[in-house]
Structure 1
C-alpha cells in the first residue's frame, strides 16, 4: 500500500527518501505548482500520478494520457515519477518528450488521446515545478477538478488497478511544427526578433517563424536551464527591455517573446515600445473582427478597458466578456461562448476555429501578429499601436503574500471597496462607478480609471494592475489608492516591480 503523502519533510533524511512529500498549497485553482524538494519530492510526484490516474478512471474517461516536460534540469525526473504513478493507476501513457505546453495540447488531438499532463513550471523561477492537466480537450482542469485531485492525493485514495503502459512518441515536435506551418507564407518581408529567454521555446519558435517566411533574429534561443540572463517571463520588464534593445539594434519589424513553456507571447514594436498583451489583444480583435463581424471575445479582468470602448470594435459589432484570470478559466469560457478568441493580459491567447483549436499557444499568437502585419502592409506595428485610443497602464505588479493568507487578504480588500461604494466614498479622488468581483475586485471610478487586486493562482503573491484613459497621473493616483488599502494588511510584502 502506497504511503499517505506528508505536507512537510526535511530533505536528506530517511523520511524524505521513503515518504511522499506533497504540500497542499501546490494544488492551485487550475494547475499544480510546487518548489521541488521543499514542497514536493519525486515520491510526491509519483503520488500525484497515481491520484490523477485514479481520478481519470473515476470520471469515466478513457485512461490514456499525453505527457511532456519543459527544459529545466529536473523536469524529466519529475515527469518519469509522474508517469510511474499514472501507469500504476492503469493509464496508457504517450510521452512526447521535451516539449512546449501547446505541443502537449496539440498531441491530444493529433494522437486522439483524451487526457494531458504537462510537467512545467511555466514562467516561475528555477526551483519550481508543476503540472498542467486536462481530461476534456481543449480544456484544462479548473477548481472542481483540482479540489478532487487534491482530496485523492492527500488522502491516498488511490485505485492502483495496474495494467498501465508506456509509449514514447518519436519526433513529435516535427508533427506540431508541420501542423502550424502548412499554410500560405507571409507575403510581406518581416524581420522578427524571436526571444525565448533560454527556455524550451528556443528549440521551436525560430524554425516556425522562418517556415512561414519571416527573417528571424534569434535572441536567447539556445536552451539553458540556468536562465543566465533573465527568467523567460513575457511580463518581466527585464525580458521586454532585452527585446526592445534587439529590435532597435537589428531594425526589426517586431519582437515576439515566448515564455518558459511556450504558451504565452509578449510583443515589442518596431520603435522599441513594449506593448502589453491586452493592448495587442485589442489590435488582434480589430484585425480578426474585420474578417468575422459580430464576433465574441473573452478577456480577463486584468485587461484594458479598451475592449469595451474602442470605436473600431464597436463598428465591427464586437461583443466582449470580461472573465476570471487564468488559462483554464479563459479557455473554458471561450469554449462555452463559442468565442473567436480569448485574451489574457499575461499573454495567454486562445484561438478558436478557424484560427486554432481553443487552447493557448504562444506560437499561434506570434503567427497571428505576423498575419496582422501582413494584412496591413502599409502600417508598422508602431502605427497599429498608435491607432489605439490612448490609455496609461501598468505592468502586472505582484506583492508577496503567502499562499495560506492571500485569499483572506483579497476577501478583505473586496469587502473594503464594496463598503466604500455603499457609503459613497471616493477612490483616487472620484466616486466608484463600477465594481467587478468575478475574480478579486476591479474598481472603476468616474473618469474610467480602474485598479485590480486579485490573488495569484500560481505563486504566493497578489496581483495588482491599474489603468487610466485620462492621464498617467490618474493611473498613479489609482495605484496609490489601491496600495494604500493593501498596506493596511501586514501580510502583504514587497512588489516584484512597480510603476
Structure 2
C-alpha cells in the first residue's frame, strides 16, 4: 500500500526520500500549485498522479491522458513522477514533451484523448510547480473536482490497477503549429514584437507569428528557466514596460507578450502604451460583434465596466456576462453558455467556434488581435484603443496573504461592504450603487467608480483592482478606500505592485 502523504518532511532525511510529502493548501480552486521540495516532493507528485488516475476511474472517464511540461529545470522530473503515478492507477499516458499548456489542451482533440495533466507553474516564480488538469475537454477541474482529488491524495485512497502504459508522441509541436498557421496570411504587413520573458512560449510563438506573415522582433525569446529579467507575466508592469521600450525602439505596430506556459497574451500598442487585457477584450468584442450577430461575451469580475457601457457594444447588441475570475470558471461558463468568447483581465481569453475550441491559448488570442488589425487597415492599435470611452484603471495588485487565511479575510471584507450598503454608508465619498459578490466583492459607487477584492486562486495573495470612468483621482480614492479596509486586517501584507 502506498503511504499516506505527510504535510511536511525535513529535506535530506530518510523520511523525505522514502515517503510522499503534499501540503494541503497546494490543492487550489481549479489547479494545483506547490513550492517544489518545500511543499511537495517527487513521491508526493507520484501520489498526485495516482489520485488523478483514481478519480478518472471513479468518474467513468476513459483511462487515457495527455501530459506535457513547461521549461523549468525541474519540470521534466516532476512530469515523470506524475506519469509513474498515473500508470500505477491504470492510465495510458500520451506524453507530448516540452510544451505550452494550450498545446496539451489541443492534444486532447488532436489525439482524441479525454483527459489532460499539464505540468506547469505558469508565471509563478521559480521554485513553484503545479498541474493544470481536466477530464472533459475543453474544461479543466473546478472546485468540486479539486476537493475530491485532494481527499483521495491526502487520505491515500488510491485504486491501483494494471493496464497503464506510456507513449511519447514525437514531433507534436509541429501538429499544433500547423493547426494555427493553416490559414490565409495576413493582408496587412505588421511589425510585431514577440515577448516571451524567457518562458516556454519562446520556442514556438516567433515562428507561428512569422508563418502568419508578420515581421517579428524577438524579445527575451531564448528559453531560460531562471527567468533572468522578469517573470513571464504579461499582467505585471515590468514585462509590459520591457515590451513598451522595444516598441518605441523599433517602431513596431504592436507588442504581444506571452506568459510562462503560453496560455495568456498581453498587448502594448504602437505608441508604447500598455493596454490592460480587459480593455483589449473590449476592442476585440467591438471587432467580433461587427461580424457575428449579437454575441455574448463572458467577462471576469476584475474587468472594466465598458463591456456594459460602451456605446458600440450596446449598438451591436452585445450581452456581457460578468463571472468568476479563474481559467476553469471562465472556460466552463463560456462552454455552458455558448458565448462567442470569454475575456479575463489576466489575459486568459477563451474563444469558441469558429475562432477556437473553448480553451485558453495565448497564440489564438494573439491571432485575434492581428486579425482585428487586419480588418482595420487604416487604423493603428492606438487608434483602436483611443476610440474606447476613457476610463482610468489599475493593474492587478496583489497584497500578500497566507493561503490559510486569505478566504476568511475576503469573507470579512465582503461583509464590511454589505453592511455599508445596508446602512447607506459612503465608500470613496459616494453611496454604493451595487455589489457583485460572485467572486469576492466588486463594489460600485454612484459615478461608476468600482473596486474589487478577491482571493488569488493560485498564490498566497489577495487581488485588488480599481477603475473609474470619471477621473484618475476617483480611481485613486477608490483604491484608498479599499486598501483602508484591508489594512484593518494585519494578516494582509505588502503589495507586489501598486498605483
Q: 2:256 maps to which residue?
A: 256
Q: 1:417 maps to which residue?
A: 417
Aligned 1:57-96 pairs, distance under 5 A: 57-96=57-96
2:137, 2:373 → 1: CA distance? 31
1:369 offset after TM fit, Å?
0.5
2:458, 2:237 → 1: CA distance? 19
1:163 offset after TM fit, Å?
1.8
SS in 2 for 1:45: helix
Aligned 1:402-413 pairs, distance under 5 A: 402-413=402-413
Q: 1:234-291 CA deviation, whole Å, 9 max, x = no partner?
A: 1111100000000011100000000000000000000000000000000000000100
Asked whether 1:210 is paired with 2:210, we answer: yes
1:84 offset after TM fit, Å?
0.1
2:250, 2:479 → 1: CA distance? 36
Q: 2:401 maps to which residue?
A: 401
Deviation beyond 2 Å, 4+ runs, structure 1: none
Q: 1:181-202 CA deviation, whole Å, 9 max, x = no partner?
A: 0111000010000000000000
2:300, 2:169 → 1: CA distance? 35
SS in 2 for 1:404: coil
1:86, 1:388 → 2: CA distance? 49
1:335, 1:225 → 2: CA distance? 34
2:162, 2:439 → 1: CA distance? 41
* Corresponding residue pairs, total: 499
Q: 1:6 maps to which residue?
A: 6
SS in 1 for 2:404: helix
Aligned Cα root-mean-square deviation (Å): 0.3
1:486, 1:448 → 2: CA distance? 21
1:162 offset after TM fit, Å?
2.2
2:195, 2:40 → 1: CA distance? 31
Aligned 1:20-39 pairs, distance under 5 A: 20-39=20-39
SS in 2 for 1:321: strand
Q: 1:396-440 CA deviation, whole Å, 9 max, x = no partner?
A: 000000000000000000000000000000000000000000000
2:259, 2:10 → 1: CA distance? 32
Q: 1:462 maps to which residue?
A: 462
1:340, 1:256 → 2: CA distance? 22
Provide TM-score, normalisation by structure 1.
Answer: 1.00
Q: 1:280-315 CA deviation, whole Å, 9 max, x = no partner?
A: 000000000100021000000000000000000001
Q: 1:48 maps to which residue?
A: 48
Q: 1:314 maps to which residue?
A: 314
1:383 offset after TM fit, Å?
0.2
Q: 1:117 maps to which residue?
A: 117
Q: 2:131 maps to which residue?
A: 131
1:19, 1:463 → 2: CA distance? 35
